[in-house]
Structure 1
Amino acid sequence: MATVSELLPEDAVRLDAAAGDWREAIRLAGELMTRTGTGTADYTAEMIRNVEENGPYIVIAPGFALAHARPSPAVLRTGMSWVRLARPVEFGHETNDPVDLVVGLAAEDKGAHQAALAELARLLADPATERALREASGPEALLALLSGTQAPGEATGNATGNAAGDGTADDRADQADQADQAEGSEQDSRDDRSERSRASASASVSASVHKILTVCGNGLGTSLFLKNTLEQVLARWGWTSHVTVEATDTVSAKGKAGEAVAVFTSREIAAALAELSVPVRVIEDFTSTAEVDGALRDTYDV
């Protein structure tokens, strides 16, 4: 399966672009994919319509939107685009607005882009890498970071538009660094306190394999992103052999809920799943292993 750098050509990267609103921001991402032969103009319209119909669930982390729609004839091949905005725009998300980074995704099916989203989830979960990606001095530096050929701190510079902005990216990165340090200490303490209870829960879980569903509107974008973050936490717990994670769409989730112990999703999608018989855990930041860890603890009472 393809990596991010394989699906994201340099011509599909635009830094410090101007957008008046969220529709224009998505349109910029779509135009890049049209230019590079990933999709047609119809696919751009489908990405916008996806938000109009399902709400801003594509804003999966503070300042970050994963623009996408279902596979359709408008998708010519699987690919991505990357738009960093000079000034952030509002998508209408309760906690993650405003957005200054829009990654476009067009997928021919549910398989080819899974590795790329897993890689992107890991990169954005690391505060230093996330900051470096947001501050990359140009497309080449950005792609070097994504491919791993350049370390965070080597790719940043005085990119055009940063000084003209309102400091949102810098402020968010500083806050993330501080939160990460505090979170690390708290996490160590919490891990010590819960190790025995988690081991006890693992013993009961290991008697059978449990399933958790991650759900989004289409089952191939944000749900896969959340699946990857959840799998990182399960690996840290040593539970990957006990709990499987399946990414799916809202319609399929209603039929599969009986097989699952819980559903993890966004606030917007959770509203459409209110009648499910299993717990629905709302995740605000799909890149946060700490938030997902907390939701998993709530699910298993550890």
Structure 2
Amino acid sequence: MPSSSPSAIADLLPASAIRLDVPVDDRTAAIRAAGDLLVDAGIAGDSYTDAMIRTVEEHGPYIVITPGFALAHARPDDSVARTGMSFARLAQPVVFGHESNDPVTIVMGLAAADDAAHQQALAALAGALADPGRRAALDTASSADEALAALDGNTTAPAAEDRDAAAPSETASTKAGAAEPTTSAEPVAPADPAALAAPAAHADAVPSKNLILTVCGNGLGTSLFLKNTAEQVLDRWGWSPYLTVEATDTISAKGRAKEADFLLTSGAIAQTLGDVGVPVEVIENFTSQAEIDAALRRLYAV
């Protein structure tokens, strides 16, 4: 998959939409702080902020996609003037209710005017959050320019090597504050489209349908984030030509689930989906290639 442009985030995140050490008392106030920055930047109106808050009230804290970080978003409404982002670092950590990734210290707001314009920025954001050095720089940035430099990869902070990229993982998930799973040197053989195993959760083996669905409340934000990380794993395996990963919302996922081998999503969305007739795999850390690698190994029995 082509790498993201270093300017992808800067194109959508103006310095005026970055605020550091914002005092808030709860998750609603934290989401509203990110929404207010979208409003002040002329990206979206107050109704969009209200929609971001309602989304979490309806679907739970699935927007907390990696330890300490929430990506607030909603379906676009008439108030969205253009695709854009905001960044609010909180003065004190706030509990959102996520089992593994609480408490939250950074909330980014995303308003998407269409389904495609923000995908490159989300890919770049995933890279920033997966890099321990850049993630640490976001917590210590003293200005909007420093925060933007960390997001765009221009920070001078020492960046640790990508612990996920070297080899597949042996464990399923990384809890907040825990070390990344250990890795196995065992490679994944190139896929044969006629011989892909059925997901291991199926009692009766059938050929793969060559489709994975990533799911969030609206199909525009966190599901794309998860899609990007899953595609990176499949690229490393050499399986990308044979498997398609599509991001979708909960309503569409219920209708399309049986077209897919399985669904990847958060714990909160998995509860909303219920039994859809195919495996629903919960991913805790949407930036962790190791966690998704382990899930795919288990589901495809490789």
Q: Common fold, TM-score beyond 0.5?
A: yes
Q: Does 1:114 align with 2:119?
A: yes
Alignment of 1:1-302 (within 5 A): 3-153=8-158, 179-180=179-180, 183=181, 186-187=182-183, 190-192=184-186, 195=187, 198-199=188-189, 202=192, 204-205=195-196, 210-302=210-302
Deviation at 1:202, TM superposition (A): 4.8
Within 2, Cα distance between the matches of 1:51 and 1:200?
39
Q: Is the CA contact 1:208–1:242 (under 8 Å) kept in the aligned structure 2?
A: no
**What TM-score comes out, normalization by structure 1 length?**
0.84
Q: Is the CA contact 1:217–1:250 (under 8 Å) kept in the aligned structure 2?
A: yes
* SS class of match (1:199): coil
258 and 34 in structure 1: CA distance in 2 versus 1, 3 angstrom threshold:
same
* SS class of match (1:205): coil
268 and 136 in structure 1: CA distance in 2 versus 1, 3 angstrom threshold:
same
Bigger shift: residues 61-70 or 270-279: 270-279
> After the TM superposition, which segments of 4 or more aligned residues of structure 1 sit over 4 Å from their partners?
200-203, 206-209
Q: Is the CA contact 2:149–2:155 (under 8 Å) kept in the aligned structure 1?
A: yes
**What TM-score comes out, normalization by structure 2 length?**
0.84
* Per-residue Cα deviation, 1:69-110 (whole angstroms, up to 9, x for no partner): 101112111100001111011111111111011000011111
* SS class of match (2:254): helix
The residue number in structure 1 matching 2:171 is none
Within 2, Cα distance between the matches of 1:35 and 1:240?
41
Q: Is the CA contact 1:122–1:229 (under 8 Å) kept in the aligned structure 2?
A: no
Deviation at 1:199, TM superposition (A): 1.6
Partner amino acid, structure 2, of 1:221: G
Identity %: 56
Within 2, Cα distance between the matches of 1:15 and 1:116?
21
* Per-residue Cα deviation, 1:224-257 (whole angstroms, up to 9, x for no partner): 0100111111111111111110000011112221
Q: Is the CA contact 2:265–2:282 (under 8 Å) kept in the aligned structure 1?
A: yes
The residue number in structure 2 matching 1:166 is none
Within 2, Cα distance between the matches of 1:134 and 1:33?
21
Partner amino acid, structure 2, of 1:60: I
* Per-residue Cα deviation, 1:135-175 (whole angstroms, up to 9, x for no partner): 22211111122233333349xxxxxxxxxxxxxxxxx99x5
Q: Is the CA contact 1:209–1:241 (under 8 Å) kept in the aligned structure 2?
A: no
* Per-residue Cα deviation, 1:150-205 (whole angstroms, up to 9, x for no partner): 33349xxxxxxxxxxxxxxxxx99x56xx24xx4xx31xx232xx3xx32765723
How many residues align structurally? 272
Partner amino acid, structure 2, of 1:296: L
Partner amino acid, structure 1, of 2:239: W
* Per-residue Cα deviation, 1:110-137 (whole angstroms, up to 9, x for no partner): 1110110011111211212211222222
Deviation at 1:258, TM superposition (A): 2.0
Within 1, Cα distance between the matches of 2:10 and 2:272?
34
* Per-residue Cα deviation, 1:261-289 (whole angstroms, up to 9, x for no partner): 11000011111222211111000111111
Partner amino acid, structure 1, of 2:189: A
110 and 199 in structure 1: CA distance in 2 versus 1, 3 angstrom threshold:
same
Q: Is the CA contact 1:201–1:300 (under 8 Å) kept in the aligned structure 2?
A: no
Consecutive unaligned residues of structure 1, counting only runs of 5 or more, are: 155-171
* SS class of match (1:248): strand
Q: Is the CA contact 2:134–2:155 (under 8 Å) kept in the aligned structure 1?
A: no
Within 2, Cα distance between the matches of 1:289 and 1:295?
10
- Which protein has the bigger helix share? 1
Consecutive unaligned residues of structure 2, counting only runs of 5 or more, are: 160-174, 198-206
200 and 30 in structure 1: CA distance in 2 versus 1, 3 angstrom threshold:
closer
